[in-house]
Protein backbone atom coordinates (compact mmCIF):
# COMPACT_ATOMS: atom_id res chain seq x y z
CA UNK A 1 0.00 0.00 0.00
CA UNK A 2 1.20 3.49 -0.81
CA UNK A 3 2.79 5.38 2.05
CA UNK A 4 4.17 8.47 0.24
CA UNK A 5 4.42 9.83 -3.29
CA UNK A 6 5.86 13.04 -4.70
CA UNK A 7 5.74 13.81 -8.41
CA UNK A 8 7.63 16.78 -9.82
CA UNK A 9 7.21 17.78 -13.46
CA UNK A 10 9.37 20.57 -14.90
CA UNK A 11 9.16 22.13 -18.34
CA UNK A 12 12.56 23.77 -18.45
CA UNK A 13 13.05 26.52 -17.46
CA UNK A 14 9.82 28.00 -16.16
CA UNK A 15 6.85 25.68 -15.63
CA UNK A 16 6.67 23.42 -12.61
CA UNK A 17 4.10 21.07 -11.11
CA UNK A 18 4.47 19.27 -7.81
CA UNK A 19 2.02 16.74 -6.40
CA UNK A 20 2.54 15.22 -2.99
CA UNK A 21 0.37 12.45 -1.53
CA UNK A 22 0.64 10.53 1.73
CA UNK A 23 -1.46 8.17 3.76
CA UNK A 24 -2.07 8.76 7.47
CA UNK A 25 -4.21 6.11 9.15
CA UNK A 26 -7.23 5.88 6.83
CA UNK A 27 -6.91 9.41 5.41
CA UNK A 28 -5.26 10.32 2.12
CA UNK A 29 -3.63 13.77 2.18
CA UNK A 30 -2.49 15.62 -0.90
CA UNK A 31 -1.06 18.94 -2.06
CA UNK A 32 -0.80 19.91 -5.72
CA UNK A 33 1.01 23.06 -6.86
CA UNK A 34 1.37 24.55 -10.34
CA UNK A 35 3.95 27.28 -10.95
CA UNK A 36 4.05 29.29 -14.18
CA UNK A 37 5.78 32.55 -15.11
CA UNK A 38 2.58 34.39 -14.17
CA UNK A 39 2.02 32.52 -10.92
CA UNK A 40 5.32 32.13 -9.04
CA UNK A 41 4.24 31.48 -5.46
CA UNK A 42 1.21 29.24 -5.25
CA UNK A 43 -0.43 29.26 -1.87
CA UNK A 44 -1.79 25.77 -1.52
CA UNK A 45 -2.59 23.85 1.61
CA UNK A 46 -2.66 20.13 2.18
CA UNK A 47 -6.11 18.67 1.58
CA UNK A 48 -7.85 15.48 2.70
CA UNK A 49 -9.24 13.38 -0.13
CA UNK A 50 -12.97 12.89 0.44
CA UNK A 51 -13.51 10.34 -2.31
CA UNK A 52 -13.13 6.58 -1.99
CA UNK A 53 -9.60 6.25 -0.56
CA UNK A 54 -9.43 2.48 -1.03
CA UNK A 55 -10.41 2.81 -4.69
CA UNK A 56 -7.80 5.55 -5.26
CA UNK A 57 -5.08 3.46 -3.59
CA UNK A 58 -6.07 0.35 -5.58
CA UNK A 59 -5.92 2.36 -8.82
CA UNK A 60 -2.52 3.72 -7.82
CA UNK A 61 -1.17 0.25 -7.10
CA UNK A 62 -2.51 -0.93 -10.48
CA UNK A 63 -0.02 1.47 -12.11
CA UNK A 64 2.69 -0.98 -11.02
CA UNK A 65 5.17 1.86 -10.52
CA UNK A 66 7.83 -0.43 -9.10
CA UNK A 67 8.16 -1.99 -12.56
CA UNK A 68 8.46 1.23 -14.55
CA UNK A 69 11.64 0.96 -16.59
CA UNK A 70 12.00 4.64 -17.48
CA UNK A 71 14.93 5.85 -15.41
CA UNK A 72 17.66 8.33 -16.20
CA UNK A 73 20.76 9.64 -14.56
CA UNK A 74 20.19 13.08 -13.08
CA UNK A 75 21.05 15.38 -15.95
CA UNK A 76 19.95 18.94 -16.61
CA UNK A 77 17.26 18.77 -19.31
CA UNK A 78 17.80 20.66 -22.51
CA UNK A 79 15.71 23.69 -23.41
CA UNK A 80 12.05 22.84 -24.09
CA UNK A 81 12.46 19.42 -22.48
CA UNK A 82 10.04 18.16 -19.85
CA UNK A 83 11.55 16.21 -16.99
CA UNK A 84 9.84 14.36 -14.18
CA UNK A 85 10.80 12.72 -10.90
CA UNK A 86 8.50 10.33 -9.08
CA UNK A 87 9.56 9.61 -5.50
CA UNK A 88 7.52 7.01 -3.68
CA UNK A 89 7.42 4.50 -0.87
CA UNK A 90 5.04 1.75 0.04
CA UNK A 91 4.28 0.75 3.62
CA UNK A 92 7.18 -1.29 5.06
CA UNK A 93 9.25 -0.91 1.87
CA UNK A 94 12.21 1.23 0.89
CA UNK A 95 11.85 4.58 -0.82
CA UNK A 96 12.52 4.66 -4.59
CA UNK A 97 12.68 7.19 -7.44
CA UNK A 98 11.74 6.93 -11.10
CA UNK A 99 12.81 9.71 -13.49
CA UNK A 100 12.36 10.64 -17.12
CA UNK A 101 13.06 13.35 -19.67
CA UNK A 102 10.55 13.61 -22.54
CA UNK A 103 9.76 9.91 -22.17
CA UNK A 104 6.91 8.40 -20.16
CA UNK A 105 5.81 4.92 -19.10
CA UNK A 106 2.63 3.47 -20.60
CA UNK A 107 0.77 4.11 -17.34
CA UNK A 108 1.52 7.88 -17.37
CA UNK A 109 -1.97 8.94 -18.49
CA UNK A 110 -3.54 6.82 -15.74
CA UNK A 111 -1.28 8.54 -13.17
CA UNK A 112 -2.37 11.94 -14.48
CA UNK A 113 -6.03 10.88 -14.16
CA UNK A 114 -5.44 9.90 -10.52
CA UNK A 115 -3.98 13.34 -9.82
CA UNK A 116 -6.92 14.98 -11.59
CA UNK A 117 -9.25 13.04 -9.26
CA UNK A 118 -7.46 14.66 -6.35
CA UNK A 119 -7.71 18.13 -7.86
CA UNK A 120 -11.41 17.61 -8.62
CA UNK A 121 -11.94 16.70 -4.96
CA UNK A 122 -12.16 20.37 -3.90
CATH T-level topology, domain 2-119: Mago nashi protein (3.30.1560)
Q: Can you tell me the distance from the alpha carbon of 79 to that of 53, in angstroms, rounded to the nearest whole number? A: 38
Range of weakest confidence among 34-43, 47-56, 101-110:
34-43
pLDDT at residue 66 tops 80: yes
Which percentage of the chain shows pLDDT scores above 90?
Answer: 49
The mean per-residue pLDDT over the stretch 17-27 comes to: 93
Q: Can you tell me the distance from the alpha carbon of 120 to that of 52, in angstroms, rounded to the nearest whole number? A: 13
Q: Can you tell me the distance from the alpha carbon of 80 to that of 23, in angstroms, rounded to the nearest whole number? A: 34
Computed over every residue of the chain, the mean pLDDT equals: 86
Question: Domain ranges in the chain?
Answer: 2-119
pLDDT digits (tens, 9 = 90+) for 88-99: 999 999 999 998
Amino acid sequence: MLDYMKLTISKWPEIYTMAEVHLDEDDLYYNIQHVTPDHQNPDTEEQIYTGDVDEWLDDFEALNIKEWLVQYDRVEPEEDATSWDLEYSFVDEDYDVKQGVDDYPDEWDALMELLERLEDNK
